[in-house]
Structure 1
Amino acid sequence: MMHHVMKLHETHYANHPLTNWDTSSARQPVPLFFFYRTSLTAVPLALVAHFRSLPTALVLSFIHLRKMSSLLAHPINTALLLYVLHLVQRIFFPSTSVPRTPPTESNAGYSWMPRTHAPALLYTTYTPRTLAKFDGHDGGRILFAIAGIVFDVTGAKGFYGPDGMYWRVAGRDASRSAAKQSFDPGTLTSVDQPLDRLEDLTPREIENMRCWAEHFTNRHIICGRLVDNDAGEL
């Protein structure tokens, strides 16, 4: 009886999948304790590998910070970094506040306004007598004429004002002076005489006068035309 029981016991465990595992067969089931042992071994190994790489990363980060600190130790590098950060801040975070009073200079932005409006200039007719009043004295406007065109050169009072090197032509017909390229008093006609007809000028001198008229046209304001005294009085 006892022998029969032992035989059944051996037969039962001999056919049990956990005790009758043939490693040479790929079809045999894997015992449960294999997964248990594998998981218990793999987790600590992964943790060890992770923490083993931490010192290297910390060392590299420390070296990087040391390099950055050494660069920033120089005042020029620090100033350049602050300037770049300021530019980035202005690009990505522009100011949205609008000043109550617009700036009066063009370099302050697009919304600037002049302090005062420019004085209005009317295109009108001048005679030698009326033109003579605009010689820049007492801080007034400065005008002169070339080839019958009257120019406002008040903005260049340093040249054509009372203390300028070309003060003689202020308030006068400077056509012959431009043709001769001379500021000699003999090139200026008296304001009480008729306009200079310029009939004795050479082609070269006429071309000089036209070039000067074009020069002032591109640089200054044309504010009128010059006519004879008699024509202006009619």
Structure 2
Amino acid sequence: MEAGDVRAVMGALLLPPAGPLLLALLGLVLVRAGRRGGFAIGLFALVLLWLLSTHVVSLGLARQLLPPVEPVGLAQLRQARVQAVVVLGGGVVPEAPEYGVPQPSSYSLERLRYGVRLARLSGLPLGFSGGVGWAGRSTANEAEAARLSARQDFGTDLRWAESASRDTRDSAERMAALLKRDGIQRIALVTDSWHLPRAALEFRRHGLVVLPAPMGFLRPRDRPLLEWLPSAHALLASRQLLREWAAWQWARFRPVD
């Protein structure tokens, strides 16, 4: 098993919902064994899972865990003398019977849509980086799915499509090589707002000047009372933010190659 596979498994076990559920199971085992503190552990785990499933907590995590990023427009692209727009993939749907071919995941499609918008506004070429990842069960490729979607859904062709990377660090290395080959040094980097601090760091480490171009901002969704009730979208947001915070810390402090 490769290191990336180990990270994927460990993340799945430690992050919500599995992490709090396993902690609750530990509490139940301790209660059945007559150990003191088992009930308190189980109750803490369930309360933690509830809180992480609320939009109020996911919004707080977004504000506290990661550096803030701001949206950009045409003026910022011109001021930064950007030469290309680069979109980072967010997964692929390996089997889409209604289309007959693999499709970009919802994350990849939203990122691609915004990247296409920036490219059209600015007249800049568009690139996409996304390979096979670590956790996928098939060999379906993000970049090829994105290339097809860009052409069929948005009427845009990708100038660059990096299709071999396994993670953000790998994307930065491989995409930087493609861009530099064509004399590109200054890019607008498109991905979700929670992913951009780490992604921009990795691309800068490979010699590119990066203008962060975030999308997918977390914002209040419902009435204040409803924001305290558990929901699947809030749990997913909390999971992503906690995972990204850990990856951000590792990226910041690991030795640079």
TM-score, scaled relative to structure 1:
0.19
Relative contact order higher in (CA < 8 Å, ≥ 6 apart):
2
More strand by share: 2
Larger Rg: 1
TM-score, scaled relative to structure 2:
0.18
